[in-house]
Chain A
């Protein structure tokens, strides 16, 4: 132990390595290795009854992602998967934007509370999610359907003349997704806002900044790491969401999650499912790289 501490104190790279090691090992062994296996599955021939034929190779799955064979056996571009990917990205982006809009004031408010209440508020944000995912979606169905709570309330207030159809639309999917992912936006923002140095804000006001300027120039930049973390935690998982589109969207159109799920289910086409997942991985990693290259700021600004 003593020698270990000594090594840690002297060698910086060793220390960094030791700190990163647990997470890297866990993810490396139990995520990256299995994914390597999956990459192999994606170039295998599908089994007749599902599963794969080990040792029989083909790139069919990747061809099927982009192209389809028409009746004459010619390849033409297959728009289906591309449309499903595009829809998923748009819905996830909207979800992320709304989460940010609703979540930011909440995180801000939490950071303003006296210290002894703050931890309590963190729990308050997560307690609803101790319930089950399915029943939460069912609760939304009860509220959104044409004779549901929301319509009754709006009718009662005289805001609308007749019930509006919300359920089984993209609006309903978005409401459900926003609900599912709100804590993942609020808590990271809170974590970075909570350490906000009030003197900086005070100084901004003292120097004659109006609220808008003080907000945009001081508060937002300081909260930026939290906002970025929150956006990642909302945007990416909602790409793969499959329960909410099914229950609140009435399954009239698929998202990526449903599509890939069905390849391991009714379609029994593991290689295509795996290929679709790697296409998604490639797109997301590419987007992250572009983001890093274009918007990377010097550490001092963060």
Chain B
């Protein structure tokens, strides 16, 4: 037994050694796994001599909880827009003056002045996307209406063939758009109406799940999926009949941003990294990898053709007025939302 354990330790040390740093400068990047091309990190390390250590989280909220509890030591984090506002409000991040960085001027409107950080004082854009719906047009008669109606009051052929994201905020927001309510409503009556809609929809929902959305569509487990547009793009790679819908009642658009925590050990390296990622060619590599659009002028020429040709990612201008920013709601509104969600699943 002891020998075995010794062997385990030895193997562990060997494996850990494979990822050890070699340069003097360091950078601790805190991101979702698989949300940054490994080759690009290698390139950054080669160009700058800064050794990057990648740590990962699985949602904005767990990252927030960890920072709120006092965890320190990260140089760059990648929160979504609404979380940017919270992090600033909580004093958990430091100003970086993105617009005055060498590549700061390349950020295209409206990403240069988002509501959550109007002067881009604390954050720089990484990727942005929308949360809409994908369906397999080969398995549906005719064309679906561009409306949340098809999702919440599905026609017969779609009943039991729908998957929703397992995300309290996204599901609730979509229902609020469809009913024409403010998604941050503090009215119990409106929350009740949302609950009624979701409960009526539930029997037709095969599952609520946020992971494996691409597999599920390709395998034909469901016909329709509440989905992020980048995932929809990758679904289409294997399932050419997949169609992404921008519902006319409104569709959430979100941005993921680079920020630097207040207690970052290497803030200068962090800023260098962020500026490097505002370079059109570098950020295009990231877009090609993730399937999401970036916000940098001049990156288009480096993008894959498939990405540019897919309306799910390269949004046609006529849909622009359907976009609704992802925002954080008041405590009262969040309480109502959580009660709706809990009751839906109790």
Show the binding face of A for B, using Cβ within 8 Å.
46-51, 68, 71, 79-81, 83-84, 138, 141, 145-147, 168, 246-247, 250-254, 258-259, 262, 264-270
Contact = CB atoms under 8 A, between A and B. Distances in A.
Contact of A251 (B64, B207, B334): B207
Contacts of B338: 262, 266-267, 269
B346 A80 contact: yes
Contact of B342 (A141, A250, A259): A259
A139 to B, nearest CB: 13
B139 interface: no
Contact of B65 (A48, A80, A251, A264): A264
Interface residues of B, number: 37
A46 B331 contact: yes
A84 B68 contact: no
Contacts of A79: 346
Nearest to A249: B207
Nearest to B160: A165
B345 interface: yes
21 contacts: A49-B86, A49-B89, A51-B65, A51-B69, A68-B339, A80-B346, A81-B346, A147-B219, A246-B209, A247-B211, A251-B166, A251-B207, A253-B345, A253-B346, A258-B345, A265-B62, A266-B61, A266-B341, A267-B338, A268-B65, A270-B65
B221 A145 contact: yes
B44 interface: no
Contacts of B209: 246-247, 250-251
Contacts of A81: 342, 346
A266 B341 CA distance: 10
A48 B61 contact: no
B304 interface: no
A265 B167 contact: no
B180 interface: no
Contact of A265 (B61, B212, B339): B61
B205 A265 contact: no
A268 B59 CA distance: 13
A249 to B, nearest CB: 8
Contacts of A84: 342, 345-346
A252 B188 CA distance: 23
Nearest to A123: B4
B329 to A, nearest CB: 11
Given A48-B331, A267-B338, A269-B338, 10 more contacts: A51-B69, A80-B339, A80-B343, A138-B212, A145-B219, A147-B219, A168-B206, A252-B207, A268-B61, A268-B334
Contacts of B211: 247
B65 A50 contact: yes
Which 7 residue pairs across A and B have the least CB separation, nearest first? Answer: A250-B207, A80-B346, A251-B208, A267-B338, A51-B68, A265-B61, A266-B168
B202 interface: yes
Interface string B162-197: 000011110000000000000000001100000000
B146 interface: no
Contacts of A146: 221
A254 B61 contact: no
Contacts of A247: 209, 211
A145 B209 CA distance: 15
B90 interface: yes
A145 B221 CA distance: 8
A133 to B, nearest CB: 13
Nearest to B67: A51
Interface in B131-170: 166-169
Given A71-B188, A145-B221, A267-B338, A254 B206 contact: no
